[in-house]
Every structure is written in structure tokens, then in C-alpha cells.
Structure 1
């Protein structure tokens, strides 16, 4: 094992954590930062409706697809080294996105951003496990990481709207420049390196390829299988078949090979499996709701980008407050109870979107996404830690990447799925004021159902665990 800089007086765990939270925040912000910039961007680059969805959701897709592979590479070849490489790539790709001359160039730059971003998230979380060997401190640090990730993902449209008020749409990507430079400058002094070829598992290239292909087919199915996409039915069928066949091959290989890319046995625990499912589906709901809420605030509500950004602030505050409340309640109320209870609150909050209309254009909307973020707080506070704790230490980065994959694929799927569903609803209404009200109604109804399913799944996992504990005690 080679662990560098442990004796440097500047290598303090909490300073290192602060530095690691910077790229975590920027990668999360870039997931949704373009929501409020879409109208200006669409006019400037002459972007059509299909390209709008690609520009907003291709980033989350690629990050989600590659995060597990990047996590495995970090476990094998060095997590700090991978963080520095990713920071350099993210800086360069962000500059390309900021000054993209066309929609095609912007989509390509977003893909490059995502490739680099996929290396940052698992690296930051795995380095936290190095900085905090004690379980109690590590739990607090991971909770801070999760709060940063999910809160700043919600703040993405807010930050984009504020920057758009002062500068052009490309300025939203320049946040990565100072953050990347800070990581590259301070990282060698504040962050430890962990390279242990003896315990790190071999990176299975075939498994990595199968995972990438299966996730890509799944996303292609979502993009082409929904109404109004205009793609041939055969493409959707082929994508679905590919996802099933390749996904089954991937699972079989993980269960039979000596060095799996992902130890799927951790998913045999109901609490872990339900947590990962809930993280994916919560990403679907928050991204889809955020997409339509920000569009509605500017179109039907008639707000400027800056005013819309201010109106969207409560969602990020709700997420941050929810995670902190959950952390404070956890000593007396178990996470197994807080998670399903919070998801039930979020489900009821999403249902409030059906009340949005001419007589109540803003209050139900703001209340809905604020309480939705608040209710998801316990899931975000404990979900990632639960996945990382279930994996062996040598696989910390890829376990962290599993949570990241769930979040980003869920977010990308949410924009594609709820974005398309909402667009179909809006096209069925006569043009004019209120055209996005129908979109919010249908998105709110679908989202409420999704979160209610998550709450029931989490509650069932809790009951199963309790019954198993009683059986063992007897």
C-alpha cells in the first residue's frame, strides 16, 4: 500500500473533506444547471425540442453509465490520481461547453464533461473513506457529501438563473474552472493516495463493457419508446431486447467470475436493494419535476430567469434541511423508519401539483417541490452510506459509484421519461397561457405514484428485517 502525505500537517480530514465537496457540488450542479437557460440557449443555438432533452439529460446518462467503471479503475490504480485526471478533463470540457457554437458541439461537450465527471464522484466518496477510518466520523462525512450532492443538484437551476441574469448561457459551465484548479492545487497536500494492488480487484473489462452497453440500451429504450419521439418502433424493441439480454449476461458474469466489477451479493439485503431502487426513482422524480417547474415558472408564470431562480431556491433548501433533520433524528428514530416516512411525505407533496392553475399559479408549485425535497432528505442522508457500508473496503469506490449511477441514471431517465410525458400533455392543450399546467398535473400524478411505491418498498424492507431479527433472537 502506498499512502502519501499522512504526516503532512496540512492533511487534516475535515479540510480534505471541504476540498472534496467542491467537485461534488459542481458535478451535481451541472446535472440541472441548464433548466433556466434553455429558452435563451434554444434561441441562440436554434435548438429543437429533441435536442433540448439531449442537452439536458445526456450528461446524467453518461455519468451514470461510466461511474461504476471509473470507481473500479480508482480502486485499482489510485483514487486521488483518478480525481486529478478527472478534474483536468472536467475543466477542459467545461470550457468547450461554455463557448460551444452549435447544439451539436454543446451536446458533444456535455458528453466529454460527463466522462470526466464520472471519475470525480466515486473518487471523492472513496477518498472520504480514507480520510475518516472511524465509523462515526465517516458516517457524518458521507452525510455531508450526500447533502452536498443532492442539495446542489436541486440548486443547479438556481445557480444557472443567477448567472444567466448577469452573463450569457455559457457562463454556467465556468463554475468548474476555479473548482478544478483548487483541487489540482490543494489536492496533493490535503488528500491521501490509496493504491493497494494486492487487495484491489482486477478491473474486468468485459463486465465494464457489458454494464455500459446494458445501461446505454436502457436509456435508448426510454428515449425511443415514448410517444412523440418519432423513432421507429423497431429501434425501441431492439433497445429493450438488448437491455434484457446484455443485462442478464452482466448479472450472470458478476455472480460467476472471481473478480466481479460489482459484488451483487450486497443487493441480497432487502434494505440495500430498496435503498438503491429508491435512489434511482427519487432521481427520476426530482429531475422531472425540476425540469417542468422551471419551464413553467418562465413560461406560464412569466418570471424572468432570475425571479424563477429565486422561486426555485426552496427545493434545494428542502433537500438540505431534510438531510440535516434526518441526521439529528437518527439517534432516536432508526433510518429504517425515517426513509419510508419521508418518501410518503414526498409522495403527498408531488400530488399538490394537480392544484396548480390560474387561481393558484405559484403556491401549490413551490410548496410541492419544497416538501418533496424535504421528504427525500432521510433517503439522501442514509442511502449512500448504507451502500458503501455494505461493500468491502477495497471496493469502496465502486460501491459509491453504484449510488452515483442510480442517482444520475434516475435523473437522466426522469428528464427523458417525465419530460416526454409532460411534453405530450402540453401538446394536447391549445397554445397560449396555461399550456404547461397540464404537464405539471400529469407529472405530479405520476411522480406521486412513483414515490408512494418507494415508500411501500422501503417499509416492506424494514418489516422484513425486523422479522428476521426476531427469528434470529429466538
Structure 2
């Protein structure tokens, strides 16, 4: 039993809750690893399964699409049927889907397996976060627990490329999916003993029309954003995003009329809830967008292998883990708004260092990379704690689903919007630096992306070296401009936090 503290703090968690927190961190670790290990395995998958270009895109994207589309639905489902029950059901299904993915014999089977992984992964994150909200009632302990929860995601992002690279060096491509199986088995064995069950006894039936509208809205907007990142701004992509926005408007109208809505829109009237979600989206927008560019820079400009690139990202993941763990202490020593604004200011400084990436030594590049990660590191834990602390306990599942969806939206927007800006800048710089005497077909391929330029240069053999050097120089210039844009966004977000600092405190739940 948890011991009771004084009236100014909530009841303290017992040893069982803290051990249970370690159990809850396990699926978060795998959840995060599964987002990035596939990128390393794609060359082997393409060689073995021979997917078409469209199938290859679906193999990569279907997991994230369904995950993002179902987070809110699964969060509210946990409120209805029990959060521990949903977590354990999801863990069993995630492990089974991982086995199916590992032993897929065709591109179609792998796409279907990845779709199942996305659906089942959507049960894990909201369930773990909502359980933490109910297991840790003391504000300080809850902040620490959420810091551990965020750190598990960061650790998964760090370990994914490293462990995935090692597995692919010794085993077949499907081995990266089997990493999840022993973790899910452990969760199924110890979860019923260590994790309490929570549900909202007053909740009614799930509104299926709201579920369909929520999934359609999220999938359409994220798909449209990804389409913009890959192909540029076009009528098709804008129409898809507009359709998603229309579904979102319809969804909001329906929630306002329902006696028992899928999402209680009154949560967004809590200033702390809305302010925290906004900072969350902006920070993830900045981070995810630049992470994509750095990964390509390491491999396509510096010529690193996936394992080498993964190892060089490890320090930044450690910084994210440390930031998540230290965030509650920093918030207690300084004001919450001060820590958020200060973190954004530090991230701006790191991006300003990377503005000089074309002349920096490699150590300077890593220093700038680590610095902007250090600034953004504490933000996820603090904003998530603010979101969960603002929502009443019986709505923890819905609040966690909304919080996690904000992560997905921020990441999709960062990749799409910054990706589109980077693509336009790359094409502009490449047009200035492209060597003369190349065929129109080669120029078109090299102008499309840095990867296209690398392939085109490889086909030209020794004569492709000037093309490769021009493409790399164009990409480095582009990264410098993107760093300047991210620095400006960080400064603007820090200024907004200072101006709205009165909202960055936990409000009384409705």
C-alpha cells in the first residue's frame, strides 16, 4: 500500500509502483526502437522481397499512419475497458505481429504485418502513460515517473540504430522485429502482478462514428504532409490535407453534441493543457525535421555506414535521456516557463552553431547537434506532465492519447514542412553548383534528392565525382539554412513561452 503524505502533496508511491514503472518503460523502449530499425533493414528487404516503389513506401509508412490514427481512440478505449487490460492485450498482439513481420515471405505480407504492428502499438503508449497518471498521485513523483517514461523513448531511439545495425550484420532482416518478442513476454508475465487496473466506471459506449472520423482526420493530414515532403506541394497533397481538416471539423462538431464524446473538448479549455500541447508540437516539429537531415548527412555526405551513423547519434540520445530525467528537478529549482524557455534558447544556440556546418570540424558539428538536443531534451517530459496533471484522473486515457497524437503530428509536420523547405533549397543550390556536360536525365535525377544524386554519380563511375561533390556541397548549404530556420523557430517559441508564462502551471482538473 502507498503511504500517505501530508495534505500539500498526494499519497506517495510504494516500491510496487516504482517497479511497475520499470515494467511500463519496456514497451515504450520497443515502441521507439520499432520506429527506426526498419530504415536500416530496408536495403535487405528490397533485395529479398523485391517490393515495388509504392510497396516500399507502404512498408515504411503504414506503421506510423495507423499508430497516429488510433492513439486517441485507444486512449479512450483504455478508459472504458481498463488500461492494464488494454496494455496486456496490446502487448500480446504486438509480439505476435512482430513474429509475422519477421517471417514475412512477400511484400504484401510485410505490409499487412506492419499495419498490425501500428494498430497494436497504439494500445501501448496511451495505456502506459495513463497508468502512470493513476499510479503516481504525488506531483513530484509523477513528474519523475513521466521523465523516466520519456527517457525510455529516448533510449529506444538511441539503441534502435545500434542494436539494429548489429543484428543486421549477423542475422537476416527479420531479426530486428524479433527484438520485441521477449520484452512483450516479460510484460505479460509480470504486468498482472505489478500493474493496477484503472477504468472510468461512468463511461458509456464508444461512438464508432467518432472513431472513424478521428482516424480519418489524423491519417489524411499526416499522409498529406508526408506526400508534400516526398513530392513537394501539389494539388493532390493539399486536397488530402484539406479533407483531413474537414473531417477534424466534423469530428469536433460531433463531440460537442454527444453526451459521452470520444474526446472531451473541455480539456482544451484548460490553459495549461493547450499551452503544453502547443510547446510539445513545436519542439517535436523542430527536432524530427532536423533529425532526418542529420541522418542523411552522416551517410550520404560523410559516407558513414548505418551502424556508424547510429553510433554517432547515441550521444544525442543520451542527452535526451538525461534531460528527461533531470527535467523535474529543473522545474522545481526554476519556474516551469523558465525551464521551457531556457531549453528552447539552448536549442537555438545549438542550431546557430550548425549554421556554420560547411566550415565546422566534425567535433563542432557533433557539439551543435548535442547542444540543440540538450535544449529540447527536458521539454517532452515537462509538457507531458503538464498535460497529464491538467486532466482529471478519469480522463487520463483520453489525455494521454491526445498528448501522444501531438507527438506524431509534430513529427509529421516537421518532416513534411521542413522537408519541403530543404528540398526547395537543395534544388536551388544544386542548380548553381551542378557541373556542365551532364545529360538532362542525370541532372533531373541528381536534382530530385541527395540520394538521387548519389545513385546518378554511381552510374557515371569515375566521371560522377564532380556531380557527387556538387550535390554534397548543395546539401551542406541547405542544412546550414535549415539550421538557421530551426534557430529562429526556437527563439520564437521561447518568446511565446515567456509571454504566456502564467499558463504554464498545472490547472485544477475539471
Band the TM-score falls in, shorter-chain normalisation: 0.7 to 0.9
Which residue in the other structure is 2:111 paired with?
A: 107
Contact 1:226 1:417 in 2 (8 A): yes
Residue 210 of structure 1 aligns to a residue whose secondary structure is helix
Larger Rg belongs to: 2
1:465/1:289 CA distance change after superposition, 3 Å: closer
- Is 1:464 aligned to residue 500 of structure 2? yes
Which residue in the other structure is 1:146 paired with?
A: 150
1:365/1:65 CA distance change after superposition, 3 Å: farther
Which residue in the other structure is 1:275 paired with?
A: 276
Deviates more, 1:432-441 or 1:302-311: 432-441
Q: CA deviation at 1:245?
A: 1.6
Q: CA deviation at 1:313?
A: 0.7
Which residue in the other structure is 1:313 paired with?
A: 314
Which residue in the other structure is 1:6 paired with?
A: none
How many positions carry a matched residue from both structures? Answer: 456
Deviates more, 1:331-340 or 1:436-445: 436-445
Contact 2:65 2:223 in 1 (8 A): no
RMSD of Structure 2 on Structure 1 (CA): 3.0
Give the distance between the partners of 2:210 and 2:47, measured in 1 at CA: 42
1:380/1:455 CA distance change after superposition, 3 Å: farther
Between 1 and 2, higher relative CO (CA 8 Å, sep ≥ 6) is seen in 1
Structure 1, unpaired ranges of 5+ = 1-9, 470-474
Which residue in the other structure is 1:218 paired with?
A: 221
Q: 2:24 aligns with which of 20, 24, 27?
A: 20
Q: CA deviation at 1:316?
A: 0.4
- Is 1:175 aligned to residue 189 of structure 2? no
Give the distance between the partners of 1:451 and 1:55, measured in 2 at CA: 33
Q: Deviations over 1:422-452 (max 9, x none)?
A: 5663742754257455445535644653564
Give the distance between the partners of 1:411 and 1:217, measured in 2 at CA: 15
Residue 302 of structure 1 aligns to a residue whose secondary structure is coil
Residue 18 of structure 1 aligns to a residue whose secondary structure is helix
- Is 1:397 aligned to residue 397 of structure 2? yes
Which residue in the other structure is 2:437 paired with?
A: none
Which residue in the other structure is 2:290 paired with?
A: 289
Structure 2, unpaired ranges of 5+ = 1-13, 428-445, 458-467, 506-510
Contact 2:352 2:487 in 1 (8 A): no
Which residue in the other structure is 1:383 paired with?
A: 383
Q: CA deviation at 1:90?
A: 0.7
Matches within 5 A, 1:354-433: 354-357=355-358, 360=360, 362-419=362-419, 422=422, 425=426, 427-428=446-447, 431=457, 432-433=468-469
Matches within 5 A, 1:46-445: 46=50, 53-198=57-202, 200=203, 202-226=205-229, 228=231, 233-357=234-358, 360=360, 362-419=362-419, 422=422, 425=426, 427-428=446-447, 431=457, 432-433=468-469, 435-436=471-472, 438-439=474-475, 441-442=477-478, 445=481
1:89/1:192 CA distance change after superposition, 3 Å: same
Contact 2:161 2:306 in 1 (8 A): no
Which residue in the other structure is 1:449 paired with?
A: 485
Give the distance between the partners of 2:44 and 2:330, measured in 1 at CA: 43
